[in-house]
Structure 1
Amino acid sequence: MEKIKFMSEEMQEEVDFFVLEQTKVNGISYILVTDSEEDDAECLILKDTSEENAPESVYEIVDDDVELTAIAKVFEELLEDVDIER
């Protein structure tokens, strides 16, 4: 599992996440991340909001209920043995 560092703008500190899966829907990149490698870890779905050809990616937590439900279903299909609780 790939481990990546994010810079939290709110707390002005680095946060480590493990990437479980990534996908692209309607031209938008999404990643499913977790803060732990344990089985019952909490996960987040992040959306790439950076401009095309930007030197760094900018990810934001998906918080729109409709979008979150739709993307969670995509990740559940990609990761057949994973059940994402919302």
Structure 2
Amino acid sequence: MEKISFEIEDTGDAVEFFVLEQTAVNGETYLLVADSQDGDAECLILKDTSEKDAQDSVYEIVEDDTELQAVSKVFEELLEDVDIEM
């Protein structure tokens, strides 16, 4: 499982997550990440908000309920053995 590091913009601190899956919906790229690769982990859905030609990717946590539900259904279909609870 791929592990990636994110830098928190306000503090500069690094946080590591395991990438469970990546998908695109309506031309937007999303990542399903977890804080652990074992058992019941805390998961986040992140949306790539970077400019098309940017060198670095910028991801933000999806907070809009409608968008979150739609994308989580896509991830549940991609990962048949995963149940995403909100």
The structural deviation recorded for 1:38 is: 1.4
Alpha-carbon RMSD: 0.7
% same residue: 69
Deviation per CA, 1:29-82: give whole Å up to 9, x if none. 000000111110010000000010110100000000000000000000000000
Tell me the equivalent position of 1:21.
21
Query: Residues 1-86 of structure 1: matches in 2 within 5 Å?
Result: 1-86=1-86
The structural deviation recorded for 1:12 is: 2.2
User: Structure 1 length normalisation: TM-score?
Assistant: 0.97
User: Structure 2 length normalisation: TM-score?
Assistant: 0.97
Higher deviation after alignment, 25-34 or 8-17:
8-17
How many Å separate the matches in 2 of 1:73 and 1:53? 29
Letter in 1 for 2:46: L
Deviation above 2 Å: which 4+ runs of structure 1? Answer: none
How many Å separate the matches in 2 of 1:12 and 1:85? 30
Letter in 2 for 1:9: E
How many Å separate the matches in 2 of 1:53 and 1:18? 25
| Unmatched 5+ stretches in structure 1 | none
